[in-house]
A and B are shown apart, each in its own frame.
Chain A
Amino acid sequence: MRVRLTGGRVLDPTHGENGVATGATRTIEIADGRLVEPTDLPAEEYDLGGDIVMAGGIDLHSHIAGGKMNLARLLMQEDRRAYPEMPGAFCGCGGGRASPSAHATGCRYAELGYTTVFEPAMVGSNARGAHLEMADIPNLDTGAYLVLGSDDYLQRLLATGAAQEQINAYVGWMVEATQAYAIKIVNPGGINAFKFNARKLDLDEANPHYGNTPRKVLQTLIRAVTELNLPHPIHLHGCNLGVPGNDETTIATIAAAEGRRLHLTHLQFHSYGTEGDKHFSSSAARIAEMVNANPNISVDVGQVMFGQTITASADYMSQYRNRPLGSPKKSIGMDIELDAGCGVVPFEYRDRNFVNALQWAIGLELFLLVEDPWRIFLTTDHPNGGPFTTYPHLIRLLMDRDFRNAQLATLNKAAQKHTLLPEITREYSLEEIAILTRAAPARILNLKDKGHLRTGGVGDVVVHTPDSDAEKMFSKARYVFKNGTLIVKDGEIVETVTGTTHVARPQFDRGIEKDMDRWFDEAIGLKAKHFRISDGELRGGAGPTILKCERTGS
């Protein structure tokens, strides 16, 4: 089927095309799910009348699947009660906002104009469940980052001084076996140290049992993904999340990358100083300066948005610390044996609370002080900083300085005195928003046919009607096409389609397989061949979209 969109102003920062600024319109045509050169062939035509056309949004960090989200759903019946399934004939979506059902996740994202979302923390032992869940999410292409670093196999390798080659082979085997796209490190080695009674672990502090430092874990895995040529750099949730004074750790971590590519995720939670009466302050300016000075570093913010949400993380060391702050007062902590951990704590960010208000301000400071929009991404670390449905509000905060300052004026008074925000004049342009939400994520994820609108690209196209209120503009897309199929019209779901799952296939030394078989037999009690997920298990048998990683260095 052929779809033709005429009269739209195209915003495609990947190719420097900015129809909003020039006023030029261009016809976009989609055939068989791909963007093609415009033709005269019969097609389903849409006259856009000057509306803005962009590629489908890409969220590179949003917890949408995996064991912890199911735990969050179980724990937060409140969420399902406050946001029940929407009435209406079409979409039997299920409900929820902070921990929406798989179906609601796909539909709510699509309404905002997103068509690709990556689950950033899949633990190996939960990979099969995560993939089954992703297959249940309509309208979105997905992919998952595998959590490594606190797993006992890697810790043992590091402790016995294994060669980098062997570690590369292990990482490659795990990525293939779990059908992952990238490697995430959560609190490098810290989750493992927690199990040996450590309650904090700094970058150069040794694991009480294995003796490995987070620096060693991080540097070894950075080398591994570089040498395996995985498309995305190490996706790092650093040490000391949420601890005042973690700015020093973050700066040391950037230095520890030693010029290699590294992605720091939910940086807002890692940018806290210890100044002031309350010993909690913003270090966003310092961190942003470091990020600006190190082009090998990319970041996403993990903006805090006020209201009820739920936090779910593999970092049980920090979740254990946060348990008493939970609201409603309940939480789940789990040991994922030999793999990682899991902590789920409901949380309500309050605008009258000093810490929460300052967290909000720190996130915005990072957005506004990091200069290169190609290296910073728009996230709330859904649902940890806030549900993804708050993105339109967040976009308005970035694009509208008066609105931002008006919001700031309503927050906790002491927090207002601790932020630079009123002095920052920067306002994001529409083009920069398009970079943050589609072009840049496509580039950092090495998705060559996404995030842009040139021939050959995937037919994921979003049309927004311009509005001076950016929140209104981005809340409801006028049209969303997924692979050329119209799925959203005037902000309402009109169709659900099946997406694909992106996986990376590195080349590695198959000699590791014998050792993996033995490890699974002896320690895990499950055959390695049963742990491995076959292509046919993904997306209801349709299989993944595979990115082959050509091996470069050794």
Chain B
Amino acid sequence: MAGLHLKPRAPFATRADLTGITPSGLAGLSRAEIERLAVPHGAARLPLAELFFVESGPDGVLLIEIGDERLDHVGAGLEAGEIIVDGAVGAWAGQGMSGGVLRIAGSAGAFLGAEMSGGVIELAGHAGERAGGASSGSRRGMSGGLLAIRGNAGPFLAERQRGGLITVGGAAGEGLATDMIAGTVAVAGGAGPQLGRGMKRGTVLLHAAPELPAGFIDTGSHDMIALRLIARRVPELAGFLGGATHARRIVGDTLMGGQGEVLVV
């Protein structure tokens, strides 16, 4: 696809839904067809060109200027290519994406990267609730890929996460990794209360021991070779782990089998 450049004509008065507006979704469409694409806008549907100035841009890239916190489903179902947003996005950004890159310069609403199975999301701002989680009608959250949040994450980050890696530069809200099935979350800035309730497997990496529910058991500090291996093999975690050799390992939720872990490094 020749690249596309979208610029909102005005701040959005109601929620708009960009489902399907991805590089592969637009492939093979002419400019006129793209401008006529029906975008759900509140209870109605409007042509894309009525909401955005549509221009050509660099190849393979969909650039959304300014952004808007009422712009939902940006990059939902992304399979390949790149989407860059200059500002904020609404809910369900990158939902169910399986490949490609989604870069967001501002903050994101709820369900960022929910149920994503591959690809990369880079968020410069803060994420709303249930990033990497499962939205209604799905029993599994994110199952693969990388979700990198530079700011803070809202409540219930990684709820029912099934795989993949989430990194948070700031802090995470309450209920982090609730009902987590598998996967990894690293939070540099501390986590809120009620972490890991119902966690089956998976790993939560933190710098300070959090407040944990009753189902967690502290197994003390261990010399873990795995930490050095991970730091070498997973560049996204290298900065977080530094040269750590030891971690305090707290396992849980024992009510769900206790194969999950919180590693304090």
Contacts and interface: CB of A to CB of B under 8 A. Distances in A.
Interface of A: 77-82, 87, 328
13 contacts: A77-B136, A77-B137, A78-B137, A78-B138, A79-B137, A80-B136, A80-B137, A81-B136, A81-B137, A81-B138, A82-B137, A87-B45, A328-B139
A81 B136 CA distance: 8
A499 B238 CA distance: 66
Interface of B: 45, 136-139
Contacts of A78: 137-138
Nearest to A76: B137
Given A77-B136, A81-B136, A87-B45, 10 more contacts: A77-B137, A78-B137, A78-B138, A79-B137, A80-B136, A80-B137, A81-B137, A81-B138, A82-B137, A328-B139
5 closest cross-chain pairs (CB), A and B? A81-B137, A77-B137, A77-B136, A78-B137, A80-B137
A77 B136 CA distance: 6
Contacts of A81: 136-138
Nearest to A329: B139
A81 B134 CA distance: 12
A97 to B, nearest CB: 13
Nearest to A87: B45
A78 B134 CA distance: 12
Nearest to B139: A328
Contacts of A82: 137
A78 B139 CA distance: 9
Contacts of B45: 87
B241 to A, nearest CB: 36
A79 B45 CA distance: 24
Nearest to B45: A87
A527 to B, nearest CB: 39
A79 B203 CA distance: 32
**Most B CB within 10 A of own CB, among A81, A82, A328:** A81
A87 B137 CA distance: 19
Nearest to B136: A77
A80 B135 CA distance: 12
Nearest to B40: A87
Contacts of A80: 136-137
B96 to A, nearest CB: 11
B214 to A, nearest CB: 24
A79 B136 CA distance: 10
Contacts, number: 13
Contacts of B139: 328
A81 to B, nearest CB: 3
A82 B136 CA distance: 11
A220 B258 CA distance: 54
B158 to A, nearest CB: 20
Contacts of A79: 137
Contacts of A87: 45
A196 to B, nearest CB: 31
Contacts of B138: 78, 81
Nearest to B137: A81
A77 B139 CA distance: 10
B211 to A, nearest CB: 30
**Most A CB within 10 A of own CB, among B136, B137, B138, B139:** B137
Contacts of A77: 136-137
A101 to B, nearest CB: 14
A87 B138 CA distance: 22
A78 B45 CA distance: 25
A80 B138 CA distance: 11
A80 B137 CA distance: 7
A328 B137 CA distance: 11
Contacts of B136: 77, 80-81
Contacts of A328: 139
Contacts of B137: 77-82
A178 B197 CA distance: 44
B87 to A, nearest CB: 29
B118 to A, nearest CB: 20
Nearest to A328: B139
Nearest to B44: A89
B162 to A, nearest CB: 14
B76 to A, nearest CB: 13
Nearest to B135: A81
A240 to B, nearest CB: 32
Nearest to B138: A81
Nearest to B38: A87
Nearest to A81: B137
B174 to A, nearest CB: 23
A77 B160 CA distance: 16
A87 to B, nearest CB: 8
A82 B138 CA distance: 10
A181 B204 CA distance: 58
A163 to B, nearest CB: 53
A432 B138 CA distance: 43
B133 to A, nearest CB: 14
B69 to A, nearest CB: 24
A459 B126 CA distance: 60
Nearest to A330: B139
A486 B68 CA distance: 44
**Most B CB within 10 A of own CB, among A78, A79, A82, A328:** A78
A87 B45 CA distance: 10
A205 to B, nearest CB: 38
Nearest to A79: B137
B114 to A, nearest CB: 12
B264 to A, nearest CB: 33
B2 to A, nearest CB: 29
Nearest to A84: B137
A181 to B, nearest CB: 35
A93 to B, nearest CB: 14
A79 B138 CA distance: 10
B86 to A, nearest CB: 30
A348 to B, nearest CB: 14
A47 to B, nearest CB: 35
B19 to A, nearest CB: 11
A89 to B, nearest CB: 9
A81 B139 CA distance: 12
Nearest to A78: B137
A328 B138 CA distance: 10
A424 B137 CA distance: 42
Nearest to A92: B43
A72 to B, nearest CB: 14
B38 to A, nearest CB: 9
Nearest to B43: A92
B166 to A, nearest CB: 23
B34 to A, nearest CB: 19
A142 to B, nearest CB: 28
A9 to B, nearest CB: 41
A468 to B, nearest CB: 36
A78 B138 CA distance: 6
A505 to B, nearest CB: 43
B92 to A, nearest CB: 13
A104 to B, nearest CB: 16
A80 B136 CA distance: 9
A199 B136 CA distance: 35
B150 to A, nearest CB: 31
